[in-house]
Structure 1
Amino acid sequence: MAFDKKNIPQWLVHTLFWSTLAILLFFPFLSESRTIPYGLGAKLLLAIALFYLNYYYLAPKLLLKDRMWTYIGLSVLLLLATGILSNLVHPPMGPDDLPRRAARMRPFTDNGPGAFRFLLMTTIIFAVPYIFGTMLKVYTEWQKNEDLRKLVEKEKIQSELQFLKTQLNPHFLFNSLNTIYSLSVKQSPDTSEAVINLSELMRYMLYEADKRLVPLAKELEYIKSYVALQRLRLSNSEDVSLKISGEERGKFVPPLLFISFIENAFKYGTDYNGKTFVKINLSINNESIHLQVTNIIGTFKAQSKSSGVGLENVKNRLNYLYPHAHVLLIADDGKTYEVNLTLNFKNYELHNN
């Protein structure tokens, strides 16, 4: 699994930054047993105060509120003021320290390029942690928004998945129970098969459909049970076919990924004479699986205005689960409707690891 930067706590990032800066400032003097320059610690504390003023107030209140030029102008003034203040304000000094005070004050009392260069260098030194604080805050807010976006998107997909899981709608269940009742009244030998098929569908929906991945073999058994039950329900099912080829062992797919295309085919694939035409082909190889569903366009499809909603949900789910690992092609010539879906197992694993 790839290293996740989001797992780094913010306090650790701050601690590492200030520890590194302190080492860079003090280590050269300590390693050579030299005297630490007077006021270096105070300047570090001033840089820390400036950093967190920017991090907790200026950047959130100005930069992240689309007041960029106000933020830039105020930051420049603040850095210049801090550069001057850091060289003017010091702890009390003894008489022996007066020459050093005079030397530090000279750039500000001399009127010339030396004063400007000194102030510029001091300002740049304070600007380094200040700019780092700005970048860190912007990145933190971006990461927070990105996490929120992903959470919302995930919840949206989960709600769509929940919709798909309950798409065995009451109308279908009512028709299935009517079919079973009709078969039982006729004492048809198909009654027990219909009950078994319906129970298999319900068992799969209740106990398997909430998982992230299921064995492909189980998904195919669900499709077989669904098609078998549809055949029993239809008065004419001669042109209903399901063909599965290839090896499904060792392969996994998200549950209920194919069923919407198949349900739509049965829902809309009956002509004016009540004849249903649905052809389903599933071909499996080592790296991909291809689904082809073809049906005629019946009267209900032509009159329906909401048939695209379920398809749009499936497209969204595919884009979320297989962003770079699927190809979906839909052809509609007014007489027949054909779906071709290819899923790439290898690219899916790369995306989700």
Structure 2
Amino acid sequence: MNTERIWFWLDRLKLFHLFFWIFHYFFWVIVYRPMYKDSTDLYMVMVVYEIFNMITFYSISYWVAPRFYHRDRYFLALVLFLLILIVTSTGLALSLVQVTLWLGKTPTYPLILFIGYTMASNIIVLVIGTTLRQLTARLRMAGTAAAVRRKQTEAELQYLKAQVNPHFLFNAINSVYFLIKKDPDLASETLIKLSDLLRFQLYDCSEDTITIEQEREYLENYMALEKLRKGDRVMLEYSPEGDLHGFRMAPLVLIAFLENAFKFVSNYTDRENLIRVILRREEKLFRASFYNTYEPLPSAMVGGIGIRNVRRRLELLYPDHTLDVRDERGTYLVTLTIPLA
């Protein structure tokens, strides 16, 4: 349901006002019904009340308040407020007297008392109407603010997701570039793997969520691409665990951590260079771990736009996620936990 559009039309057509005056009319008809033998007399009297109550409310709320009170012309606003209240209350009292006489009855109260009653009626309607108007205005503003925040979030998510593609493509093209002279056959095979990855990004990542099977296939293709590039220099351990079926997640969330693991994996010649990837489902939680050995690098070289983007996307998409990063003794471990719906 588009609540923003509903609020717009309710305000545009002044339907709130229509509902209020209908409710106001029948409420007082029910209240005063025992005092009248003839219902027609009561309906006519309440119509007169309704007309003067509306004149009082709209003249003060839509003329005096915006034209004078809200422009800090308080004294003039007070004078006009009292003048309108006195005029409409007197007019209502005189009209009620005339209606009473027209119905063939004698007024039971003196005119001054009638004016007191009608003034109280106008003040009550003015207070209630003004309160309801401010309340609906606040609700409308809250709804508009929520809609603006939602649109800003959606726009930011689209921007962040769009940045993933050129970032990944930049790194992949660099890899192919260095392989062309070194090993043309391997470069050709790498390009095929790269085309599969780009096809996924082009056709499968247009939706807000994808299946875990699609995400796994994408990660596995990326790992195959990197293994072609790095060869036996890096040992890769990949472990999908648990029931990794039947749920969806936002696309291109995990790739940044996997890409980082390959980007900064160590290049030792005397010991093992290891990357370990574990995807695990634990009841209503999905957990992904990315481990790699690394050689100390200047801090300015660690991280990048991919990691910054995915952190921001996680904040927007999964506010209840946990991201545990451990950097110790030449090993780097990132564990992401996402609650499943």
Q: TM-score, normalised by structure 2?
A: 0.77
Q: Between the two proteins, what is the percent identity of the paired residues? A: 19
Deviations 1:209-230 (A, max 9, x none): 1111111111101101101111
Gaps of 5+ in 2: none
In structure 2, the partner of 1:278 is 275
Q: Secondary structure of 1:199's match?
A: helix
Letter in 1 for 2:248: F
In structure 2, the partner of 1:112 is none
Q: Secondary structure of 2:286's match?
A: strand
Deviations 1:174-221 (A, max 9, x none): 31354366443xx5xx66753432221111011111111111111101
Q: Give the deviation of 1:339 after TM superposition.
A: 1.0
In structure 1, the partner of 2:45 is 37
Q: Give the deviation of 1:49 after TM superposition.
A: 1.4
Instruction: Give the whole-Å Cα distance in 1 for the aligned partners of 2:67 and 2:329.
Output: 61
Does the aligned pair in 2 maintain the 1:82–1:123 contact within 8 Å?
Answer: no
Q: 1:328 and 2:323 equivalent? A: yes
Letter in 1 for 2:322: V
Q: 1:151 and 2:151 equivalent? A: yes
Instruction: Give the whole-Å Cα distance in 2 for the aligned partners of 1:80 and 1:308.
Output: 67
Q: Secondary structure of 1:33's match?
A: helix
Query: Judging changes above 3 Å, is the alpha-carbon distance between structure 1 residues 308 and 100 closer, same or farther for their aligned structure 2 residues?
Result: farther
Deviations 1:154-191 (A, max 9, x none): 2111111111233213232231354366443xx5xx66
Deviations 1:15-36 (A, max 9, x none): 3233322332446559833333
Q: Give the deviation of 1:278 after TM superposition.
A: 2.0
Q: Secondary structure of 1:318's match?
A: helix
Instruction: Give the whole-Å Cα distance in 1 for the aligned partners of 2:274 and 2:83.
Output: 81
Does the aligned pair in 2 maintain the 1:80–1:119 contact within 8 Å?
Answer: no
Query: Judging changes above 3 Å, is the alpha-carbon distance between structure 1 residues 169 and 191 closer, same or farther for their aligned structure 2 residues?
Result: closer
Does the aligned pair in 2 maintain the 1:236–1:276 contact within 8 Å?
Answer: no
Does the aligned pair in 1 maintain the 2:265–2:295 contact within 8 Å?
Answer: yes
Q: Secondary structure of 1:169's match?
A: helix
Q: Secondary structure of 1:270's match?
A: coil
In structure 2, the partner of 1:249 is 245
Q: Give the deviation of 1:101 after TM superposition.
A: 11
Instruction: Give the whole-Å Cα distance in 1 for the aligned partners of 2:64 and 2:172.
Output: 58
Q: Map of 1:73-88 to 2, 5 A cutoff?
A: 81-88=83-90
Q: Secondary structure of 1:247's match?
A: coil
Query: Judging changes above 3 Å, is the alpha-carbon distance between structure 1 residues 13 and 122 closer, same or farther for their aligned structure 2 residues?
Result: closer
Does the aligned pair in 1 maintain the 2:176–2:187 contact within 8 Å?
Answer: no
Letter in 1 for 2:216: L
Provide the alpha-carbon RMSD of the alignment: 4.0
Does the aligned pair in 2 maintain the 1:51–1:129 contact within 8 Å?
Answer: no
Decide which of 329, 332, 339 is 1:337's aligned counterpart: 332
Query: Judging changes above 3 Å, is the alpha-carbon distance between structure 1 residues 85 and 131 closer, same or farther for their aligned structure 2 residues?
Result: farther
Instruction: Give the whole-Å Cα distance in 2 for the aligned partners of 1:71 and 1:340.
Output: 62
Letter in 1 for 2:223: V
Q: Map of 1:173-212 to 2, 5 A cutoff?
A: 173-179=173-179, 182-184=182-184, 187=185, 193-212=189-208
Q: TM-score, normalised by structure 1?
A: 0.75
Letter in 2 for 1:145: A
Q: Map of 1:1-353 to 2, 5 A cutoff?
A: 5-8=3-6, 9-10=9-10, 11=13, 12-26=15-29, 32-35=39-42, 36-37=44-45, 39-50=48-59, 53=62, 57=66, 62=70, 81-90=83-92, 103-106=110-113, 119=119, 122-179=122-179, 182-184=182-184, 187=185, 193-271=189-267, 276-300=273-297, 302-304=299-301, 307=303, 309-324=305-320, 326-333=321-328, 335-346=330-341
Letter in 2 for 1:298: E
Does the aligned pair in 2 maintain the 1:268–1:301 contact within 8 Å?
Answer: no
Deviations 1:270-292 (A, max 9, x none): 34669743221111244221101
Letter in 1 for 2:240: I
Query: Judging changes above 3 Å, is the alpha-carbon distance between structure 1 residues 270 and 51 closer, same or farther for their aligned structure 2 residues?
Result: farther
Q: Give the deviation of 1:267 after TM superposition.
A: 1.5
Alignment: residue pair count? 324
